[in-house]
């Protein structure tokens, strides 16, 4: 009897820990799973759930706050209006740009994210919606022109330039053949060496301006690198760097 009680307590204590793993942010996409966005059209912060995982209760800051869903890989999602997989539910096996179209905007409190091959147990009561989903898919088919507009917009916003022909070819295939959405194109660009170099150059400029403003000189490589890393990792601003430089022996000894 004591063993059963301890087991039950352990399960109950584990549930909030599972829910607390979800938080708004911009984490890496899982190879298979779903990401839940706070705004329509995959805008704003998001959290992701891998295929095979489930969330019985969303934390208060995430509960009833999802407005679009990005499906990644061979995954399917069952969303529930109440916690513990209760209340109204619906299955989605493709990305949803605006949950308001389905009367689900800001109404999700728990979810299961499954591999498609594991979805057999959930099919029976939802097959009647398949025709409606096929009609919606037909309405949203992406043309080459649509794909090129998405690619150009993503390149300009993320890399600050127009795409080259190789970029057009690569991402056009991803969008049309693999069903990528703009959020996936942007995430891929943010993982590129070009984007990382762009971020580093911007961080170097922040540190250089701070050095000139506080110490009236160009930064040396050894002194600048820790600040460059703080800008990249911790989102330090020029003011943050300047504030720290004013605590340095070099600055204090000049007074």
Please indicate whether residue 141 or residue 74 has the higher confidence score (pLDDT).
74
Q: Indicate whether 146 and 66 sit together in one domain.
A: no
Domain with 222 in it: 194-253
What CA dihedral angle connects 27, 28, 29 and 34, to 10 degrees?
A: -20
Q: Indicate whether 208 and 173 sit together in one domain.
A: no
pLDDT of residue 194 exceeding 70: yes
Note the residue count of the chain. 255
Number of domains in the chain: 3
Q: Indicate whether 132 and 9 sit together in one domain.
A: yes
pTM of the model: 0.54
Q: Indicate whether 133 and 108 sit together in one domain.
A: yes
Q: What b/e sequence results for 50-75 when a residue is b if at least 16 CB atoms lie within 10 Å of its CB, and e otherwise? A: ebebebbbbbeebbebbbbbbbbebb
Q: Indicate whether 149 and 211 sit together in one domain.
A: no
CATH for 76? 2.60.20.10
Q: Indicate whether 16 and 127 sit together in one domain.
A: yes
What is the structure's pLDDT at 18?
A: 44
Q: Indicate whether 8 and 131 sit together in one domain.
A: yes
Q: Indicate whether 14 and 74 sit together in one domain.
A: yes
Please indicate whether residue 27 or residue 206 has the higher confidence score (pLDDT).
206
pLDDT of residue 201 exceeding 70: yes
Sorting pLDDT into bands at 50, 70 and 90, what band is 31?
A: confident
Q: Indicate whether 6 and 131 sit together in one domain.
A: yes
pLDDT of residue 1 exceeding 60: no
Domain edge (last residue) among 190, 211, 230: 190
Q: Indicate whether 201 and 76 sit together in one domain.
A: no
Q: Indicate whether 48 and 78 sit together in one domain.
A: yes
Q: Indicate whether 25 and 148 sit together in one domain.
A: no
Sorting pLDDT into bands at 50, 70 and 90, what band is 19?
A: very low
What is the structure's pLDDT at 200?
A: 94
What is the structure's pLDDT at 137?
A: 46
d(CA 90, CA 111) in angstroms, rounded, equals 10
Tell me the DSSP string of 85-128: GEEEEEEESS-BS-GGGGT-TT---EEEEEEGGG-GGGSTTTGG
d(CA 10, CA 153) in angstroms, rounded, equals 49
């Amino acid at each position: 009897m004591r063993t059963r009680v301890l087991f039950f307590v352990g399960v109950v204590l584990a549930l909030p820990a599972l829910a607390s793993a979800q938080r708004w942010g911009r984490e890496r996409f899982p190879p298979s799973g779903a990401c839940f966005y706070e705004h329509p059209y995959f805008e704003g912060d998001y959290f992701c759930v891998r295929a095979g995982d489930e969330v019985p209760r969303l934390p208060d800051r995430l509960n009833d706050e999802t407005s679009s869903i990005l499906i990644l890989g061979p995954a399917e999602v069952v969303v529930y209006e109440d916690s513990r997989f209760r209340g109204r539910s619906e299955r989605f096996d493709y990305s949803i740009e605006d949950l308001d179209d389905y009367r689900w905007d800001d109404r999700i409190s728990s979810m299961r994210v499954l591999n498609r091959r594991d979805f057999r147990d959930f099919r029976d009561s939802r097959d009647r919606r398949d025709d409606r989903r096929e009609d919606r898919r037909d309405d949203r088919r992406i043309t080459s022109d649509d794909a090129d507009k998405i690619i150009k917009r993503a390149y300009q916003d993320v890399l600050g330039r127009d795409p080259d022909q190789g970029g057009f070819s690569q991402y056009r295939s991803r969008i049309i053949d693999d069903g990528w959405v703009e959020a996936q194109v942007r995430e891929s660009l943010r993982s590129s060496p070009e984007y990382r170099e762009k971020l580093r150059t911007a961080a170097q400029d922040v540190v250089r301006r701070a050095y000139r403003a506080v110490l009236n000189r160009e930064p040396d490589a050894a002194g600048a690198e820790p600040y460059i890393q703080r800008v990249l990792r911790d989102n330090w601003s020029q003011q943050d760097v300047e504030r720290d430089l004013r605590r340095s022996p070099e600055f204090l000894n000049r007074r």
